[in-house]
Amino acid sequence: MISRWLRENAQQYLLRDAQARVARAHGRTPPPIRGSFFWRRIFVPIYRLTPWPVRRRLLAAMPGSHRRHWPKPTTPAGPAV
Over the stretch 3-37, which tens digit does the pLDDT of each residue have? Answer: 788 888 889 999 999 999 999 999 998 878 778 89
Identify the DSSP state of 80: -
Q: How confident is the model at residue 66 (pLDDT cuts 50, 70, 90)?
A: low
Element (H, E) at 52: helix 52-61
Question: 40 near 32, Cβ under 8 Å?
Answer: no
Q: Which of 60, 81, 57 lies closest to 69, judged by CA?
A: 60
Question: 7 near 65, Cβ under 8 Å?
Answer: yes
Q: Which of 39, 51, 50 lies closest to 14, judged by CA?
A: 39
User: Is the full-model pTM beyond 0.75?
Assistant: no
